[in-house]
Chains A and B, each alone.
Chain A
Amino acid sequence: MPHPHRKHLLTSVQMAHFVATGAFRMDAVVPDEMNQQAIEVLKNGIPGVPYGTPLSEAFTDSEFVQRLVELPEVAGAIHSLVGPEPTVDHHAVHIRKAHEGEAQNLHGDAIIDVRTDAFDVQLMYYPQDVTLEMGGTLSVPGSHLRRTNESDTGRYQNLLGQTRLVCPAGTVQLLHHGIWHGGRKNDSDIDRYMFKIRFNPTVRQVRLWNTDDLYDDAVAAELDQSFPWYENATGRLEKYNRIVMWRAISGDDTYDPNYWVTRVSNRPQRVVSDRANNPHAKGKKEMA
């Protein structure tokens, strides 16, 4: 895979948005000409790829997918998040049939994954216009750092501020591995297609994006945002955990504009000698 041009890498503000929300979305980034071909390609199936295949080798037999991951904006986002030459974990074509009766439970993919200094990314590509009725993917902004296992969250039907994806054809979103999501019930007359690829990083995920704006105030604002479904107290812990993640990917282990981590890890070691209680101190004088 060629190295993306710097102008196609994500900015620090966009990366901070990803750290806060667990998602980065690019509307209509795939050209219409490809979207027109996509349904037929996806219907025919994409050949399987062994776990851990380098991205540059994974889709040599799938010209369409190769073009998809080489689109400059898509390649730039993948590089910014997981770095050069990630491996392909797996891919899948998801079809929600017209008037399909069931929604998926809210879940995180794979198994509980508590890494704080590395993360996988899932690309989701929507070749059609997706309406609310078509049951676009449900996802929950800011849920990716919650330590839950797969569908143990299935009891949660709706969370305030959830995203019920409605998007134009050619939209790609990149999701943190931990985000709570699920395919919604398709109440329309149209079969809905989505193509997913999971990427594993092969390098340490530190400053892989365009860091020109690393200390922009908007970075701190992104990291400090709240979401309507957060409980009052746990919402603060979310910010703590985001700072831990931001420190890992920015390489700056002092970054903490709102003091969430600093305050609770402040354990000074310096001892101040108390001259007044020291019998060996000479020349003690009362202050006048």
Chain B
Amino acid sequence: MSTTAETPVQTGLRQQVLVLYLASSALDARVVGWSTYDGTGETHPTTGDSDEPPYATGLDALKDGWRLFQASQLNPPHPGHEYDVSFLKHEFFFEKLV
């Protein structure tokens, strides 16, 4: 006997994704960057569309009902590359099902 997962069409739910980049690995650190993707298709966020972050900290997003589903790991630098700068390190993915 197998069960069949409900499809989005059946549930009517869609995923909205918020990506916050924080000033440190702490979830209550200040937001330094942000991206949003809207699975409902009702809004079309894009590059360079805002100078104001949606929340001041990652914790503020939790308080507003966003669910954290991924946080970047803390990896030591590769030997010899301790002073290199590259991608933003503290990336947190949140979702809302609407």
Contacts and interface: CB of A to CB of B under 8 A. Distances in A.
Interface residues of A, number: 37
A116 to B, nearest CB: 11
A234 B48 contact: no
A104 B49 CA distance: 11
B interface: dominant SS: loop
Interface string A148-189: 100011111111101010000000000000000010110000
Interface residues of B, number: 28
A247 B78 CA distance: 25
A79 B51 CA distance: 34
Contacts of A241: 83, 85
Contacts of A234: 85, 88-89
B94 interface: no
Contacts of A162: 48, 51
Nearest to B48: A138
A153 B47 CA distance: 11
Contacts of A185: 46-49
Interface stretch (A28-36, A204-212, A213-221, A224-232): A224-232
Given A104-B47, A182-B47, A157 B85 contact: no
B33 A229 contact: yes
Interface of B: 19, 21-24, 29, 31-36, 45-51, 53, 83-90
30 contacts: A103-B48, A103-B49, A145-B85, A146-B85, A146-B87, A148-B86, A148-B87, A154-B47, A155-B35, A156-B88, A157-B46, A157-B48, A157-B49, A158-B34, A158-B47, A158-B50, A159-B32, A159-B33, A160-B53, A162-B48, A185-B48, A229-B21, A229-B33, A231-B22, A231-B90, A233-B89, A234-B85, A234-B88, A234-B89, A240-B83
